[in-house]
Homo-oligomer: A and B are copies of this chain.
Amino acid sequence: MSNLVEEFDAYRSKMNDRILGDDNKIIKRIFNLDTNAFSAGALDVKTKELLGLVASLVLRCDDCVKYHLKSCKDAGLTFEEVKEALSIATLVGGTIVIPHLRRAYEFWDALEKSQE
């Protein structure tokens, strides 16, 4: 199941290289801002990653959810903590979020497997 993680990472890296290898200033700066926005500040990295996760889930973007699940894990968040964030997103976003919640659980499990 950890293929999920590798495939996600590989495609994301390949296409980010393709996009950033290009010369569009606006897009490059948006990518840059993304790095800055999730760095520690008044809020710590853990909190910010949870914010990114919830924003991604209520907006129902599977790839964004996967990305932030990985960052949440890398930042040391437990599944207990992640699940509470996911439950808030499901409540705020409604049952329409549930198919994305399924894929979020699946990806989290794949992340755990890939690190065994």
Residues of A within 8 A of B (CB): 11-12, 15-16, 18-19, 22, 24-27, 29-31, 33-34, 36-38, 41-43, 47-48, 50-52, 54-56, 58-64, 78, 80-81, 83-99, 101-103, 105-106, 109
What is the CB-to-nearest-CB distance from A26 to chain B, in angstroms, rounded to a whole number?
4
Task: Point out which of A50, A54, A101 has the most chain B C-beta atoms below 10 A from its C-beta.
Answer: A54
* A97 nearest CB neighbor, chain B only: B94
Q: Are A86 and B27 in contact (CB under 8 A)?
A: yes
Give the CA-CA distance A75 to B87 in the complex, in Å: 20
What is the CB-to-nearest-CB distance from A45 to chain B, in angstroms, rounded to a whole number?
11
Given known contacts A12-B102, A92-B94, A97-B94, A55 and B58 CB-to-CB distance under 8 angstroms: yes
Secondary structure of the A contact surface, majority rule:
helix
What are some 8 contacts across the A-B interface (CB < 8 A)?
Answer: A15-B103, A19-B102, A24-B86, A26-B36, A33-B91, A34-B95, A37-B88, A54-B55
Give the CA-CA distance A103 to B76 in the complex, in Å: 30
Give the CA-CA distance A94 to B91 in the complex, in Å: 6
Give the CA-CA distance A57 to B110 in the complex, in Å: 29
What is the CB-to-nearest-CB distance from A89 to chain B, in angstroms, rounded to a whole number?
6
